[in-house]
Amino acid sequence: MNPAAFYPSAVDYLRFLPELILTIGGVLLLVLEALTGDNKDKTSLGYVAIAVVLGAMFAVPVALANPGTSFNGMLVSDGFAAFFRMVTLLVGLFTLLCSTSYLSREKANSGEFYLLVLFSLAGQGIMAASNELIMVFLGLEIASISSYVLAGFLRDDKRGSEAALKYFLLGSFATAFLLYGISWIYGVTGATNLVAIRESLAAGTSGNSMAVAAAALMMIGLAFKVSAAPFQVWAPDVYQGAPAPVSGFLSAGPKAAAFAIFLRIFQTSFESFSSRYEPVLWILALATMLVGNFSALWQSNVKRMLAYSSIAHAGYVLVAVTTNSNVGTAAAMFYLAAYALMNFGAFAAITHLAGRGESHVTIDDLKGLASKQPVMAGLLTVCLLSLTGVPLTAGFFGKFYIFKAAIDNHLYWLSALGLLNSAIAAYYYLRVLSAMYMHDSKTTDHPEPVPGGIQLTMWVSAAGILTLGVFPGLVLDYANRFATFVK
């Protein structure tokens, strides 16, 4: 064989451009961090990272304009990949905007934080675009290992270190399940390419019950990464203990990327026995919604409450995944994009309001916010109303399309129980709102000015929520068009 047949061509690089930019940017930051002295202000490195993420965002349409597989079928550049690359990059941009001021406040500003975010984004991009189980695994590990470190970045903070260790141990355990499933699939089909697996399973020449067992093992690993019940126990502790911008990052970015590979693996490769895993997904979706919503009711810590709410939202997305249809996939994509906006908006507000050392994170601390900081309270209200699913917000259309897809696919019970769940969820979001508007502040001290990055994040997410709440087609049209790529 001639090795020249395998040499990557220029178009291969174009299809991989967003991740290339992120990786080169990350290495650049590593060098810059070493070049700037130890006692220098590292905020400027944050701006470099923001520029890198913006560059990667511009590279996404370039990759989309050159559709096809690259590097011998390892990656695929299609609309589905572009959509999730864009969502994760947006979350990464928000994270960087919020963390520059946060890290200065906590006296932990260093270049490593920014480069870990960039590498994590590169890993998520690889996940979104992977066409091969080996790439899925590598992307997932790159994204996860950076996340473990980010969760424990404030290493003198006990809660943060505990969160990082828990996340690392349980996360590695879940990855082992995924890897075990991958090795079984390779044993059954002799392939790791998603399309080749599909063809081998459809031909029916290989052991089918073994492939089902392999799919079950992989589902365990992926259910952990999207924090679906009963694999959700890590999420509340990690989101509570991690630095606030990191919690926002973890709850929106890696989760969206994990859903991307979930959809791609199960709809592309395991299509032939979809009827067998559908009941499992049904139970998984319902359990996740119930656990998330009911646990959130009792929380007094806002970060912990948002952690449980993020579990519940993963449950709604799983409802869309259960439908196993293009409409359902599009609904899941729209919901994840809307969720990234509204959830990160809420976490951005908490990042600022928590104060130094994150000492003010209970619902009581939000009392009287509306009279002290009306703009901040208003923007946070938009995010919370959208998380509740109130009309004229993106969250409403997100839930609407998910349950519409579920009803179209005759999942009546799941839709009914899901709708009941979102009614329960309204209670704990309204509790925060009532604390903000109906109570007087405990303290009289003057509020600190809101840093520009956090303001920008909140304005962008609130504007995005309201725009999508009126014109959902702006994103839904893309989701509908790109959802067909995974089937």
Partner 1 sequence: MDVILFTFFALVAIVGAVSLVLQKHPISSALSLVSVMVALAVLFLLLGAEFIAAAQLVVYSGAIMVLFVFVIMLLNAGAERESRKGGLAQFLGLPLTAILLVFASYVITQSMSNAKAVKFGAFTGGGPREVGWELFTRYLLPFEVTSILILIAIAGAVVLARKEID
Footprint of partner 1 (CB under 8 A): 1, 3, 5-6, 8, 16, 23, 27, 30, 71-72, 74-75, 106-108, 110, 112, 115-116, 119, 122, 126, 132, 134-135, 138-139, 141-142, 145-146, 148-149, 152-156, 164, 188, 207-210, 213
Bridge partners (DSSP) of residue 362 are 301
Of the candidates 483, 21, 28, the residue with the CA atom closest to the CA atom of residue 260: 483
Could you give the dihedral angle defined by the CA atoms of residues 225, 226, 228 and 233, in that order, rounded to the nearest 10 degrees? 50
Residue (142 or 302) nearer to partner 1, CB:
142
Q: Show the 3-state SS of 290-323.
A: HHHHHHHCCCCEHHHHHHHHHHHHHHHHHHHHHC
Query: CB of 403: closest distance to partner 1 in angstroms?
Result: 35
Closest distance to partner 1 from the beta carbon of 107 (Å): 6
Nearer to partner 1, 26 or 451 (CB): 26
Instruction: Say which residue the tokens 């304009």 belong to.
Output: 65
- Looking at beta carbons only, is 71 or 294 nearer to partner 1? 71
Nearer CB in complex with partner 1: 55/378: 55
- For residue 187, count other CB atoms closer than 10 A to its CB: 13
Question: Looking at beta carbons only, is 16 or 347 nearer to partner 1?
Answer: 16
Residue 154 CB, shortest distance to partner 1, in Å, is 7
Select 15 or 264, whichever has its Cβ closest to partner 1: 15
**Residue 419: alpha-carbon gap to chain centroid:** 23
> Could you tell me the two tokens for 172?
């590695």
How would you write 190-240 as a 3-class SS string?
CCCEHHHHHHHHHHCCCCHHHHHHHHHHHHHHHHHHCCCCCCCCHHHHHHH
Residue in 212, 204, 205 with CA at minimum distance from that of residue 184 = 212
Cα–Cα distances in angstroms (integers) from residue 21 to residues 13, 92, 106, in the given order: 11, 14, 29
Q: Tokens 């560059």 belong to which residue?
A: 55
Nearer to partner 1, 149 or 286 (CB): 149
Tokens of 267: 């709809």
Residue among 178 and 394 whose Cβ is closer to partner 1: 178
Query: How near is the Cβ of 134 to partner 1 at its closest, in Å?
Result: 5
Q: How far is the CB of 39 from partner 1 (least distance, A)?
A: 10
Min CB(148)–partner 1 separation in Å: 7
Q: How far is the CB of 103 from partner 1 (least distance, A)?
A: 10
Which residue from 45, 199, 173, 221 is spatially nearest to 117, judged by alpha carbons?
45
Closest approach, Cβ 212 to partner 1, in A, equals: 8
